[in-house]
């Protein structure tokens, strides 16, 4: 049976067709899978598990339906939806994963990450990340009314667009050093991550052995999905 991996859907009211594509995927291919792993940035933004916006409700309903059908679904937070917590997990029927997480995939020790922590040359982003992952910051943020949090998310999104436009493409990608460290620390043979929106399969020379790094693509236009069935791996596009 197939295990599926997706990330970087960036679900948002601005792109309703991607939400529809995701719902079709959950009702179709995902139903036949053994497990589904969502490796971060499922949402363009997530302002807290108490969000009552229609999109948040709709996506949680769709995930809950998949989980009720018996497909184990895992969720790892990305840099956009890092506030997705236990209430989201319970409502959606998903199991939260830490970043990084090591899993055994048909005998292959596999490291799962969102991917943002691998972009160690992007110092401005890493500084921002340290701030928003601080429990005290999160507690203060979640104490604000929903409207205020929505305004903050909109502003953070605009800033991120500016940064992505101005930062050099190479500092927005992973560094070899961070990839090597991650694979060595985890003792992994394979690393699967998203975040960079550069879908590909790379061989990684570790000196004593060769590992593989699989990068999931985004869902802005393509609907990237990784299918792993035993030793057969396929990185595909839904459209």
**Distance from C-alpha of 146 to C-alpha of 194, rounded to nearest angstrom:** 28
Neighbours of 166 (CB within 10 A): 8
Whose Cβ is closer to Mn ion: residue 4's or residue 119's?
119
Our finding on whether 217 is near Mn ion (CB under 5 A) is no
Which residues in 20-50 are b (16+ Cβ under 10 Å) and which e?
A: ebbbebbeebbeebebbbbbbbbbbbbbbbe
CB of 34 to Mn ion, least distance (A): 25
Segment near Mn ion (CB under 5 A); pick from 62-70, 88-96, 190-198, 200-208: 190-198
Which of 182, 176, 178 has its CA nearest to residue 205?
176
Segment near Mn ion (CB under 5 A); pick from 117-125, 128-136, 153-161, 194-202: 194-202
Torsion-angle region of 40 (φ positive above 0: left; ψ -120 to 50: alpha; else: beta)? left
Whose Cβ is closer to Mn ion: residue 195's or residue 213's?
195
Residues in contact with Mn ion, total (CB under 5 A)? 4
CB of 32 to Mn ion, least distance (A): 27
Which of 39, 52, 56, 42 has its CA nearest to residue 11?
42
Our finding on whether 51 is near Mn ion (CB under 5 A) is no
Segment near Mn ion (CB under 5 A); pick from 19-27, 139-147, 155-163, 189-197: 189-197
Whose Cβ is closer to Mn ion: residue 71's or residue 83's?
83
Q: Write out the two tokens for 101.
A: 């997480």
Q: Mind giving me the DSSP string for 105-128?
A: ETTEEEEE--SGGG-TT-HHHHHH
Single residue of 193, 195, 197, 213 touching Mn ion by CB under 5 A = 195
CB of 1 to Mn ion, least distance (A): 28
Our finding on whether 197 is near Mn ion (CB under 5 A) is no
Whose Cβ is closer to Mn ion: residue 2's or residue 80's?
80
Binding mask 77-106 for Mn ion (x = CB under 5 A): -xx---------------------------
**Distance from C-alpha of 5 to C-alpha of 226, rounded to nearest angstrom:** 5
**CB-closest chain residue to Mn ion:** 195
Which of 235, 237, 236 has its CA nearest to residue 201?
235
Whose Cβ is closer to Mn ion: residue 114's or residue 190's?
114
Residues at the contact surface with Mn ion, assessed by CB under 5 A: 41, 78-79, 195
């Amino acid at each position: 049976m197939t295990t599926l991996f997706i990330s970087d859907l960036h679900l948002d009211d601005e792109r309703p067709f991607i939400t529809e594509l995701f719902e079709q995927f959950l009702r179709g291919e995902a139903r036949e899978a053994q497990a589904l792993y969502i490796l971060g940035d499922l949402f363009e933004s997530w302002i807290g598990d108490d969000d009552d916006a229609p999109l948040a409700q709709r996506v949680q309903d769709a995930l809950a339906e998949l989980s009720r059908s018996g497909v184990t679904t895992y969720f790892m937070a990305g840099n956009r939806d890092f506030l997705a917590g236990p209430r989201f997990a319970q409502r959606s029927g998903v199991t939260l994963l830490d970043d990084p997480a090591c899993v055994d995939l048909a005998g292959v020790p596999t490291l799962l990450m969102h991917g943002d922590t691998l972009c160690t040359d992007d110092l401005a982003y890493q500084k921002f990340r340290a701030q928003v992952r601080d429990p005290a910051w999160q507690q203060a943020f979640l104490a604000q009314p929903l409207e205020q949090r929505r305004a903050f998310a909109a502003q953070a999104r605009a800033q991120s667009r500016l940064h992505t436009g101005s930062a050099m493409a190479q500092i927005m990608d992973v560094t070899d050093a961070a990839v090597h460290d991650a694979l060595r620390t985890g003792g992994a043979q394979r690393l699967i991550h998203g975040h960079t929106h550069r879908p590909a399969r790379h061989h990684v020379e570790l000196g004593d052995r060769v590992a593989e790094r699989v990068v999931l693509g985004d869902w802005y236009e393509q609907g990237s999905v990784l299918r792993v069935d035993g030793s057969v791996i396929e990185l595909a596009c839904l459209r």
